[in-house]
């Protein structure tokens, strides 16, 4: 009898812990998806720089992590907030021509977007607009 009660107690505890972990994970994913209301998108791409823009319902210290390896976004560009406090832009400078880059918007060090991508144009080519793909 004591063994059955102990097993029942442990089973209920395990189910409760698993539900709590899933709720926390779903909450974090929900927050990530709800912070940005538009974008991010590479609005302007030249052979050496890119301007990335997005809209957010959350305020904070926004920036963009970027790099040429999707798993190593080691460089950072700080975002400028618009006067309305909802639109942000980050200018990424010092890029190599004709190179694929990956980027992700972060707020206070935490990712708030998927990983987007853009490719700089060849040296001397005319800049292009809105060439980002952000998987959902």
Q: What is the pTM of this model?
A: 0.70
Q: Per residue in 75-131, pLDDT tens?
A: 999 999 888 778 999 999 999 999 999 999 999 989 999 999 999 999 999 999 874
Instruction: Please give the pLDDT value at position 20.
Output: 43
Q: Which domains does the chain have, with CATH numbers?
A: 36-119 (2.60.40.10)
What band does 34 get if pLDDT is binned at 50, 70 and 90? low
Q: Which two tokens stand for residue 70?
A: 């999707």
């Amino acid at each position: 009898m004591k063994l059955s009660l102990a097993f029942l107690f442990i089973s209920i505890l395990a189910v409760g812990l698993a539900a709590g972990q899933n709720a926390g994970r779903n909450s974090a994913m929900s927050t990530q998806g709800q912070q940005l209301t538009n974008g991010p998108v590479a609005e302007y791409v030249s052979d050496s720089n890119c301007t990335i823009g997005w809209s957010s319902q959350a305020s904070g210290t926004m920036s963009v992590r970027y790099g040429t390896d999707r798993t190593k976004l080691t460089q950072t560009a700080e975002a400028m907030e618009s006067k309305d406090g909802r639109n942000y832009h980050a200018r990424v400078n010092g890029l190599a021509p004709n190179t694929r880059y990956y980027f992700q918007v972060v707020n206070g060090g935490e990712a708030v977007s998927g990983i987007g991508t853009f490719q700089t144009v060849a040296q001397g080519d005319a800049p292009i607009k809105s060439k980002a793909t952000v998987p959902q």
